[in-house]
Chain A
């Protein structure tokens, strides 16, 4: 079922927030900085894709665009319906300011940026936007955007327990699948689903290779390039992404042994890092640490697990998708704290990392709230841990740098 909110007030609301319309069609200067130089020539495809996207060319595709948020929305189902999924999560300061016209200052920056982009007419090519009810701001976002665009609200529930919820999830995903088929008048079945799963599994395979390579030598593909690849996957055609990422991997692994990483390796956990908000990576790298692994929902959480097809019936496939996307997710909005702690400890031990940086984007409560418990758990396992809280502005860069440098010194003493 498609949700139609605020239908009666659509016109008024639409007109009411017109002042921003038509602004910023150019990529912000901050973003350009990160797209300037790269060591891997193969990264060009990704850079170009991002520039195209940010300058409102979006993607070069005939297929209708479907926007979505969060990893719990099944990309595979969107792909299977011959649509082009675009993940709309963004953390851009310029857009945040634009969004403050519609949304209050004290809410999640992602919601503000997204509101900014929608209310200023930047995102106008989407046929439909799928909003999951994972956290409170997302749920409200569904209503905030409803005057502008058709919304599909997908509510997974907050309990990630397979035993309790598997059937419910399956039904919800099936509804979503049926809705898309009906809305776009496309008949898709298990053949399409299987081929979509194959595509994402291929992506998983490449991503795993890249991930493993980076845990050994984070410099082989530097953190910026890595996160740029991740961001590009939000909107790039999946086949194109696979091919380009494979190239990057090949190139990086060929010259892997020539470079060594002398800096302490850290695991970056916490709020997802989304282009162009690379401040945190910038500061970490500049303070002499290197991000060797991450467990964020935009990258690891989304790519690391394949869809394990056990039953190739349609319902079996849909079920496999729910397990990958909801039950296996590490989203802190669901009851996932233990999983998250286990994952951090396991990743650190497995790849011999030196420490953990837990990144809280200010106003994102779900990550923030569990910091203390993670800290204690890691203390018991004797894993060095630092948590930082910051926002999108660049004012605290110096302060952060000092903290990271202190942390680096601690790691160096710790590892001796």
Chain B
């Protein structure tokens, strides 16, 4: 039995429910603009909202363009296209893209940015492994593959490196477009180019379905929307294939994960290795959903916080040597000391 992994799975499911159906559960926080404003008075809806074509018209609380879409942004919150999330909404990339276009004044954004950075300094990239609903969906796909007895596809190290460069490329382009269309001269492009990354993000198609809303599968009205629609399909296909065959390779490319990963080194949550205990069995490298092998290679005692590590602690769970790998929180050990935990029942694999 792998204690940490079980905890993590439960955490993921609970987060998914909270993020997706949060507004249903906490009824009084309907997620309406007014309620949110009472919590966060600094919120100001910019005038003249922008139309986007991401929803099936009329099927959603906010018909395109009609409602102010400023929401609160705790760090990396879930997708804006999840219609029922309410208070729990909007990812960090969405946050940047949107506000760059609106040219929101920095003082309004400061509380969110501070909160984001603070949480990142504490938890590092734990978001990806423990909370992200898209990651949870992906893990479910992986789970399906395992049940279907289809071998895992392992990707080489440099392929994954290139993926993260691609991710950075996409992110820079997306943010650049958002900035440009925010300029008055280019405002006429806004209705097509608003939130450029979100338009191709798989979450745009996946998240609404949780709220039992039909996502906008196709929009062939103009050349640009057609391009975006087709790109979104391709990306969704890649997303499903990546998670199904290769665990978390996708996460090397996800811009949200990339932003979070800047804070991984020096985060409060840390992985520690005691090199003398290691017998180089390779389990830690083999089980890593991100395909990281650094843990295996480490020959010195120390803290292991790789940029790409999603802090899932799977490696801590499977390491057969007691006390070799430990998960720590500001230097304090957080996982159970009982090393028999794993040998009890080999069959229960979360």
Q: Which of A51-76 touch B at CB < 8 Å?
A: none
A65 and B110 alpha carbons, distance in the complex (Å): 72
Q: Which residues of B contact A178 (CB under 8 A)?
A: none
Return chain A residues, CB-CB under 8 Å to B314.
310
Tell me if B151 and A316 are in contact (CB < 8 A).
yes
Residue on A nearest B274 in the bound complex, by CB: A346
Instruction: Tell whether B38 is near chain A: CB-to-CB under 8 Å.
Output: no
How many A-B residue pairs have C-beta atoms within 8 angstroms? Tell me.
107
Nearest Cβ on chain A to B296's Cβ, whole angstroms: 6
In the bound assembly, the distance between CA atoms of A160 and B297 in angstroms comes to 13
Known: A306-B320, A310-B318, A315-B151. A198 touches B283 (CB 8 A): no
B345 within 8 A of A: yes
0/1 string, A323-346, CB within 8 A of B gives 1: 110011010000000010011011
* Interface presence of B342 (CB below 8 A): yes
* B286 touching A201, Cβ below 8 Å: no
B residues 326-350 near A (Cβ < 8 Å) are 340, 342-347, 349
Contact indicator A309/B281 (Cβ below 8 Å): no
Alpha-carbon gap, A202 to B346, bound state (A): 9
B346–A328 contact, CB under 8 A? no
Residue A208 at the chain B interface, CB threshold 8 Å:
yes
Is the beta-carbon distance between A313 and B342 smaller than 8 angstroms?
Answer: no
Q: Is the CB of A343 within 8 A of B346?
A: no
- Contact A312 B146, beta carbon cutoff 8 Å: yes
User: Are the C-beta atoms of B149 and A328 separated by less than 8 Å?
Assistant: no
Residues on A with beta carbons closer than 8 Å to the beta carbon of B278: 339, 342
Please, which residues of chain A bring their CB within 8 A of the CB of B293?
162-163
| Bound form: Cα–Cα A305–B320 in Å | 6
Residues on the B chain within 8 Å of A201, using CB:
343, 346
Known: A308-B320, A327-B282. A208 touches B149 (CB 8 A): no
A172 to B63, CA, bound (A): 60
A306 to B344, CA, bound (A): 10
Q: Are A313 and B150 within 8 A (Cβ)?
A: yes
Q: Write the A149-166 contact mask toward B (1 if CB under 8 angstroms, else 0).
A: 000000000001111001
Taken residue by residue from 281 to 310, chain A's Cβ proximity to chain B (1 for < 8 Å, 0 otherwise) reads as 000000000000000000000001111111
B285 within 8 A of A: yes
Indicate if B188 sits at the interface (CB-CB under 8 A). no
Pair A330/B279 contact, Cβ less than 8 Å: yes
- CB-contact partner of B342 in A308, A314, A315, A323, under 8 A: A308
Interface size, A (range): 35 or more
B residues within 8 A CB of A312? 146-147, 347, 349
A176 to B47, CA, bound (A): 70
In the bound assembly, the distance between CA atoms of A168 and B281 in angstroms comes to 15
Judge whether B231 is part of the interface by a CB distance below 8 angstroms: no
Quick check: is A233 within 8 A (CB to CB) of the other chain? no
Contacts of A204 in B (CB 8 A): 343
Query: Are B146 and A309 closer than 8 Å at their CB atoms?
Result: no
B5 nearest CB neighbor, chain A only: A310
- Which residues on B sit within 8 Å (CB–CB) of A208? 340, 343
In the bound complex, how far is the Cα of B279 from the Cα of A345, in angstroms? Answer: 12
Flag B258-283 by CB within 8 Å of A: 1 or 0 each: 00000000000000000111111111
Contact A313 B276 (CB under 8 A): no
Contacts of A144 in B (CB 8 A): none
A319 within 8 A of B: yes
Residue contact A162 to B150, C-beta cutoff 8 Å: no
Chain A, 153-212, CB within 8 A of any chain B CB: 160-163, 166, 189-190, 194, 197-198, 201-202, 204-205, 208
Q: For B151, what are the chain A residues with a Cβ–Cβ distance below 8 Å? A: 313-316
Known contacts A311-B152, A345-B276, A346-B276; is-contact A327 B281 (Cβ 8 Å): yes
* Distance in Å: Cβ of A242 to nearest Cβ of chain B: 12
Q: Is the CB of B283 within 8 A of A308?
A: yes
User: Chain A, 243-256, contact with B by CB distance < 8 Å: what is the 0/1 string?
Assistant: 00000000000000
Residues from chain A with Cβ under 8 Å of B150 in the complex: 313
Contact A163 B146 (CB under 8 A): no
Pairs across A and B, CB under 8 Å, 19 listed: A162-B280, A163-B282, A201-B346, A306-B320, A306-B342, A308-B283, A308-B342, A310-B283, A310-B286, A310-B349, A312-B147, A312-B347, A315-B152, A323-B283, A327-B281, A339-B280, A342-B277, A346-B276, A346-B277
Interface contacts beyond A197-B346, A310-B287, A313-B149: sample of 9 additional A-B pairs, CB < 8 Å, sorted by A:
A162-B282, A305-B321, A308-B318, A310-B318, A312-B347, A323-B281, A328-B281, A328-B282, A346-B277
Residues of B bordering A, CB below 8 Å: 145-147, 149-152, 275-283, 285-287, 293, 296-297, 314, 318, 320-321, 340, 342-347, 349
